[in-house]
Amino acid sequence: RMDQALLLVRNELPAPGLNLAARSGSCHQCLYQFLAFVPPSNESLRKPGTASVMVDTQHPLTLLLNSSVGDRDLCKIQYHFGEFGNYSLVVKTLSTSNQTVSCDLIINEGPINSYLPILFAFLVYMGILALLIAGRLLMKIDPVRNWVYKKLNPRATDRMINSELGSPNTTDSINCDPAPQSWSSGSRQRLRSLDTFRGLSLVIMVFVNYGGGKYWFFKHESWNGKLHFPSALFSRFVFIMGTSIALALGSMLRWGSSKWKMLRKIIWRSFVLILLGIIVVNPNYCLGPLSWDNLRIPGVLQRLGFTYLVVAALELLFTRTDSGTWEGRFPALQDILPYWPQWIFILVLETIWLCLTFLLPVPDCPRGYLGPGGIGDFGKYPNCTGGAAGYIDRLLLGEKHMYQHPSSGVIYQSMMPYDPEGILGTINSIVMAFLGLQAGKITLFYKDQPKQIMSRFIIWGIVMGVISAILTKCSKEEGFIPINKNLWSISYVTTMSCFAFILLLLIYYLVDVKKWWSGAPFLYPGMNSILVYIGHQVFANYFPFKWKMQDSQSHAEHLTQNLTATTLWVIISYILYRKRIFWKI
């Protein structure tokens, strides 16, 4: 099968036989898992005992061979097997006098290179990018550019997409419209870098949710540590949502909107997001009608909705309606000090998270446990997955209303339901959105000052990185608070915020400052993010987003299907952009 290899164990030792066990290199402090019993050799027939097993190829394995009687360890081998490879492990005696045993690993048939489809797909998309660059160069020719602008009618499009804005107007922000200045001098402009950032995160999220070609590095980390590509996607979405809140609320207040009216809209939008997540996204209607008995309550949209409600209401309560410069003792902190009540609120929330995580008593579990349960921690706490976070969800929501197949179940074989979008982790998603809100305030307070904006993005990125280094001790497992996407630990939030500030800086520089990049194609799904996210979930099992494969054990076929589905959503969002259709809640 995919991500597996065949291992044939040949035992040339006499009775009593051998036990073969294995432990994954990505499984921290895990018990060895029994794989097979290898019978002893038949001395009369001079025939070795054999056993064949399938071994995992996603991570390095440690193989342990010991005697079935007396449990004496004979040999231990660390090896990273290759996909569809055929291997033999020969166990024999080198010296009968001192009973020296040798274990030799032999490659009978070499593995395939399962990464070639990624290289081919990369070359295809690079070819498409080359064509887009050539088209951009053609757009620098005046007759071609004027003809395209006339056909696309960008003035009407800009009026539509900026009707409910997340950016300063042209009198107090950087002009980011690639059209001639005479066309844009009288309209408010949207920071394209925000939509590009959002669209980039969304497109990769769609690809990962569709399967990511079934490659292990396009899946979420089992528990602590290594930041696989998918681990950053949802957090970036939360971050840029916070940025948009600052810009949107500031714009609406400057145009004289009532705070009560805005609060009603915030509450309604949050309610709709949560309802869409529970009713539309979470259930799998292909398996039957909606059933409240086992309906999952938490989810991505639910967390986005609640996070939006808290952060938007907090910003609405303390935001300033004037756009003048703050005249305090520390003008360099004008985007922070006037909002000290917000910071106190966030610090109180984080204190609550820390107290619940490390002080809440959890039955049959050590206090402050942050592990995956299962076979982790040498199997001492099999039913403690997620510690306090999992316990709170099971207590308040019930096991049947949680995510039933957490990522920790694959490597750590944890059997308890655990929801990565659970209640306790929502506190830190609020912190993440608040840090994104800070990025939005920077763009507002330092309007027409791109160097100031970029320098502060760098400073915030460094600060978040230093905090992460302290919390984790620059270690995967040994820090005070490890980086963990399932728990949404505070170290995960600071690390993802560090990357988000740096990525936003780069996109802002390329798209809005230098205008070397229009943001395409990520700009288009970024402007219809809710429609693309809900659509890709609802139609995930329908053609042309999914079809019956000839070989379901082929990374190439999975990658082709997942990239095709993702590309279709980009094309759909582009068509909607051209037709000026933008779904907003």
Active site residues: 220
Q: Closest Cα partner for 13 from 108, 100, 106, 107?
A: 100
The DSSP secondary-structure symbol of 232 reads G
Q: Own/partner pairs for 334-338, CB < 8 Å, 24+ apart?
A: 334/445, 335/438, 335/441, 335/442, 335/444, 335/445, 335/446, 335/456, 336/438
CA distances to 170, 185, 198, 533 from 530, in Å: 27, 30, 11, 5
Give the C-alpha separation, 416 to 403, whole Å.
10
For 411, the token pair is 């490597």
Element (H, E) at 440: helix 423-445
- DSSP H or E segment with residue 356: helix 340-359
Query: What is the spatial distance between Cα 211 and Cα 546, in angstroms, rounded to a whole number?
Result: 11
Residue with tokens 């409910």: 164
Angle ∠(465,500,371) on CA atoms, nearest 5: 60
CA 333, 335, 337, 341: dihedral to nearest 10 degrees?
-160
Tokens of 511: 């798209």
Q: CB 191: neighbour CB atoms within 10 A? A: 25
Q: What are residue 49's phi and psi, to 5 degrees?
A: -75, 140
Structure tokens at 537: 């979930």
**CA 549, CA 504: separation in Å to the nearest integer?**
38
- Residue 294 near residue 401 (C-beta atoms within 8 A): yes
- Tokens standing for 182? 């005479």
**DSSP assignment string, 276-329:** HIIIIISS-GGGSS--TTS-----HHHHHHHHHHHHHHHHHHH--S--SPP-SS
Cα dihedral: 276, 212, 518, 122 (round 10): -170
Nearest to 87 by CA among 50, 52, 39, 49: 52
